[in-house]
């Protein structure tokens, strides 16, 4: 079509087009990488913790009565909670997945101090832990009640001899066998204390949402604490919100030497865990929208100016036989060429920026479809932005050719 | 070729009505060279614009090449301009960002000719106007006379039946004006019908037929062009 002369015209007027092409390029580079970050964050936020998030809540019981019998109180509390209507199960533990704070430990497959080890999040639970968390036990067995003991700081033998691990942890400990074959294997904790893997759960995340080995977590059969207990409660589906105040009230009244506080649903835990990511996603969306808006305005401005400046030329073209659609097409095509230069440059910038971010921030490389999609979007934005001025151009009267000097 | 009957053209703005043409009737035969003179503001350009389908008349009948053009839509008028009419403007109206070749190419692209056909035509008309060596030059690198010759080449490239020129020598010194005039005469000698608006009596006189416009109305066969131009 008219690409040849339009292109040559642009080359003779480079300065007016280079800036807008550059703006498109920068918009594209930032847009692509912002969306890549959004995708990455969304993916991280979307990972399941492995527990029954919709029906779980947690709270603290903090004792202040010096004469309190803590172990008896925990037993009574758990009994009362488990028997409360609408409750599925309950357990005392130290933390929850993605709660931003918990217990960590190194496991290794050979005893010794110079042996390579694998990090894992630890949840101390009793035999109700698997059911309360709602984790999916895919190999081996749950703890038996006889395996559960109170932690005794006086004892030499401090660490329980059995453990249930996440499939991911089993695979990092024993990369050469499948996770179900890890049942019965021995690992070592604190360098030398042997622990036997008795069960594998499909998914259980550790307590730190940004930890790179977040999928490594273990359930350890032990009760710990002296004055303060964290309870995790799983309700029957749909009862969570109505049950929370009932449980709080019940426990507060059952024993006055403690306070019940910090109750939080797992939904809130998740929102807190990813609050900054959510904010980041919103911010990036905003930035991308603003960039696109500014670029569109730039295109509209340049095109309007160009139509005004070329009014006589447009009239002359009309006089020489250009139809209105031909004039419209001229400006759309011109914009398409500017955009093409912009998105081609933008593609290079985007990939460069991404490579730098992959190195610096451990971001995953761009998905293959990101560049072509961004090109399409920006081409479309350009065409939409230029349509108004181009339409105005198409209504320039051919009489302009003889009427202006 | 061109047949106007009782054409009128009224420009309306909020406050004024200008009757730029009134009951304007004119018949131009195929192959004629008609000069149009008249005082400034008398309606010469308006006549040319209506004749060249750049503007529609307010009333009257206009037949171009035997065809009533008053009912044509914008696209059809554009196509007719492109195929049948060549325009030459006082200020040349070359496109400043395009070189000579691309300028002459403009109407040919709208015509939809292929590459080879366009190239052949462009080279031929640029040769006719004697600018073969300037084909890659920009308009700004040419003198006024040369620019007008490029514009004539552009008007000729589509091989129109009908050439309309609005003061084609108005921006040129007498020497350049003479060369442009000679070019138009030779084009007319080849058979192209020409209607030329001019202020210059000695050029007008060289046309085979002279018409005079005053107050939007036609006064044919002005006896003394010198006097007419002075009005
Ligand atoms: N677009 C327009 N709107 C209003 N009046 C116009 C317009 N074009 C021309 N006229 C008026 O029409 C009359 C004829 O103008 P024109 O044909 O340009 O005269 P000429 O070419 O003989 O000098 C003038 O009075 C002019 O002011
Ligand atoms: Mg005029």
Whether A64 and A115 share a structural domain: yes
What is the complex's ipTM, to 2 decimals? 0.94
What is residue B231's predicted lDDT score, i.e. its pLDDT?
47
Per residue in B168-177, pLDDT (tens digit) is 998 999 888 9
Cα B18 off chain centre by? 23
**CATH number of the domain residue B119 falls in:** 3.40.50.300
What is residue A193's predicted lDDT score, i.e. its pLDDT?
92
**CB of B41 sitting under 6 A from ligand 1:** yes
What is residue A254's predicted lDDT score, i.e. its pLDDT?
94
Last residue within a domain, chosen from A210, A231, A266:
A266
Per residue in A62-114, pLDDT (tens digit) is 999 999 999 999 999 999 999 999 999 999 999 999 999 999 999 999 999 88
Per residue in B135-153, pLDDT (tens digit) is 999 999 999 999 999 999 9
Domains held by chain A: number: 2
B11 CA → ligand 1 middle, Å: 8
Whether A256 and A367 share a structural domain: no
CA nearest neighbour of A299 among A384, A221, A230, A233: A384
Q: Is residue A194 part of a domain?
A: yes
How far is the C-alpha of B187 from the C-alpha of B16, rounded, in Å? 41
**CB of B42 sitting under 6 A from ligand 1:** yes
Whether A129 and A231 share a structural domain: yes
Considering CB atoms only, which of A2, A399, A405 is closest to B54?
Answer: A399
Last residue within a domain, chosen from A212, A239, A266:
A266
Please determine, for residue B215, whether its predicted confidence score (pLDDT) is greater than 80.
yes
What is residue A273's predicted lDDT score, i.e. its pLDDT?
96
Asked if B78 and A401 come within 8 Å (Cβ–Cβ), the reply is no
Residue A1, min C-alpha distance to chain B (Å): 8
Whether A176 and A282 share a structural domain: no
Return the number of other C-beta atoms located less than 10 Å from residue B199's C-beta: 16
Whether A235 and A298 share a structural domain: no
Whether A297 and A368 share a structural domain: yes
Domains held by chain B: number: 1
- What mean pLDDT is reported for chain B? 91
How far is the C-alpha of B129 from the C-alpha of B126, rounded, in Å? 5
Which helix (DSSP H) or strand (DSSP E) does residue A60 occupy? strand A56-63
What is residue B221's predicted lDDT score, i.e. its pLDDT?
62
Please determine, for residue B164, whether its predicted confidence score (pLDDT) is greater than 90.
yes
How far is the C-alpha of B108 from the C-alpha of A59, rounded, in Å? 82
Last residue within a domain, chosen from A244, A266, A288:
A266
Instruction: Please write down the HEC assignment for all residues of A85-101.
Output: CCEEEEEEECCCCCCCC
CA nearest neighbour of A127 among A119, A118, A137, A117: A137
| Residues near A173 by beta carbon (within 8 Å), at least 6 away in sequence | A107, A109, A118, A165, A182, A185, A187
Whether A99 and A214 share a structural domain: yes
Q: Is residue A81 part of a domain?
A: yes
Q: Which of B8, B46, B164, B199 for mutating ligand 1's site (highest number of atoms within 8 Å of CB)? A: B46
pLDDT category of residue A179 using cuts at 50, 70 and 90: confident
What is residue A154's predicted lDDT score, i.e. its pLDDT?
80
Per residue in A12-41, pLDDT (tens digit) is 889 889 999 999 999 999 999 999 999 999
CB contact at 8 A, B89 and B166: yes
What is residue B100's predicted lDDT score, i.e. its pLDDT?
96
Per residue in A330-364, pLDDT (tens digit) is 999 999 999 999 999 999 999 999 999 999 988 88
How far is the C-alpha of A392 from the C-alpha of A307, rounded, in Å? 8
Considering CB atoms only, which of A13, A316, A323 is closest to B78?
Answer: A323
Whether A64 and A159 share a structural domain: yes
Whether A165 and A259 share a structural domain: yes
Whether A185 and A292 share a structural domain: no
Segments forming the whole domain that contains residue B40:
2-230
Per residue in A216-267, pLDDT (tens digit) is 999 999 999 999 999 999 999 999 999 999 999 999 999 999 999 999 999 9
Segments forming the whole domain that contains residue A27:
3-46+276-402
Whether A64 and A39 share a structural domain: no
pLDDT category of residue A123 using cuts at 50, 70 and 90: very high
Q: Which phi and psi angles does A233 have, rounded to 5°?
A: -125, 135
Measured between beta carbons, the chain B residues lying within 8 angstroms of A325 are 75
| Residues near A283 by beta carbon (within 8 Å), at least 6 away in sequence | none
Q: Is residue A319 part of a domain?
A: yes
Q: Is residue A271 part of a domain?
A: no
CB contact at 8 A, A121 and A104: yes
Shortest CA distance from A395: residue in chain B: B74
The model's pTM = 0.84
CB contact at 8 A, A214 and A208: yes
Whether A75 and A206 share a structural domain: yes
Please determine, for residue B156, whether its predicted confidence score (pLDDT) is greater than 70.
yes
């Amino acid at each position: 079509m008219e690409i040849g002369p339009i292109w040559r015209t642009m080359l003779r007027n480079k300065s007016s087009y280079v800036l807008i092409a550059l703006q498109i390029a920068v918009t594209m580079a930032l847009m692509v990488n912002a969306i890549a970050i959004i995708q990455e964050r969304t993916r991280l936020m979307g990972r399941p913790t492995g527990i029954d998030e919709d029906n779980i809540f947690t709270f603290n019981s903090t004792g202040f009565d010096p004469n309190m019998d803590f172990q008896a109180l925990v037993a009574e509390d758990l009994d009362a909670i488990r028997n409360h209507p609408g409750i599925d199960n309950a357990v005392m533990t130290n933390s929850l997945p993605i709660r931003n704070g918990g217990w960590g430990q190194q496991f290794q497959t050979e005893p010794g101090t110079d042996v390579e080890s694998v990090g894992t999040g630890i949840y101390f639970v009793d035999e109700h832990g698997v059911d309360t968390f709602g984790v999916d036990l895919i190999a081996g067995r749950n703890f038996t009640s006889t395996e559960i003991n109170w932690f005794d700081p006086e004892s030499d033998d401090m660490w329980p001899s059995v453990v249930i691990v996440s499939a991911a942890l089993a695979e990092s400990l024993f990369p050469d066998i499948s996770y179900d074959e890890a049942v019965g294997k021995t690992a070592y904790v604190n360098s030398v204390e042997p622990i036997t893997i008795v069960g594998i759960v499909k998914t259980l995340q550790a307590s730190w949402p940004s930890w790179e080995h977040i999928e490594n977590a273990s359930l350890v059969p032990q009760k710990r604490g002296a004055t303060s207990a964290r309870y995790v409660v799983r309700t029957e589906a749909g009862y969570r919100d109505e049950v929370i105040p009932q449980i709080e009230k019940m426990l507060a009244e059952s024993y006055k030497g403690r306070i019940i506080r910090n109750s939080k649903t797992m939904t809130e835990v998740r929102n807190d865990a990813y609050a900054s990511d959510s904010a980041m996603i919103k911010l990036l969306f905003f930035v991308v929208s603003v960039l696109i808006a500014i670029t569109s305005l730039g295109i509209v401005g340049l095109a309007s100016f160009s139509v005004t400046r070329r009014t006589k030329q447009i009239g002359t073209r009309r006089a020489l036989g250009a139809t209105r659609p031909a004039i419209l097409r001229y400006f759309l095509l011109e914009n398409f060429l500017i955009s093409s230069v912009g998105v081609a440059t933008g593609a290079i910038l985007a990939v460069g920026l991404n490579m730098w971010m992959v190195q610096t921030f451990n971001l995953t490389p761009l998905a293959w479809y990101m560049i072509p999609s961004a090109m399409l979007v920006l081409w479309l934005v350009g065409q939409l932005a230029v349509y108004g001025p181009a339409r105005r151009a198409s209504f320039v009267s051919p009489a302009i050719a003889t009427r202006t000097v | 070729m061109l047949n106007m009957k009782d054409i009128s053209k009224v420009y309306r703005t909020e406050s004024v009505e200008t009757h730029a043409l009134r009951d304007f009737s004119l018949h131009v035969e195929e192959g004629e060279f008609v000069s149009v003179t008249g005082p400034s503001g008398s309606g010469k350009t308006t006549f040319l614009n209506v004749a060249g389908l750049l503007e529609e008349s307010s009333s009257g009948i206009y037949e171009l090449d035997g065809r009533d053009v008053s009912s044509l839509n914008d696209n059809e008028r554009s196509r007719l301009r492109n195929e049948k009419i060549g325009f030459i403007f006082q200020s040349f109206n070359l496109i400043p960002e395009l070189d000579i070749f691309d300028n002459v190419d403009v109407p040919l692209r709208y015509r939809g000719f292929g590459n080879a056909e366009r190239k052949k035509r462009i080279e031929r008309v640029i040769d006719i106007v004697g600018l073969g060596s300037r084909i890659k030059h920009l308009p700004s690198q040419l003198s006024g006379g040369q620019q007008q010759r490029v514009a004539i080449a552009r008007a000729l490239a589509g091989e129109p039946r009908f050439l309309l020129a609005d003061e084609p020598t108005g921006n040129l010194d007498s020497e350049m004006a003479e060369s442009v005039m000679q070019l138009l005469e030779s084009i007319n000698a080849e058979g192209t019908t020409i209607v030329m608006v001019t202020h210059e009596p000695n050029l007008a006189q060289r046309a085979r037929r002279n018409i005079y416009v005053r107050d939007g109305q036609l006064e044919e066969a002005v006896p003394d062009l010198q006097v007419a131009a002075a009005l």
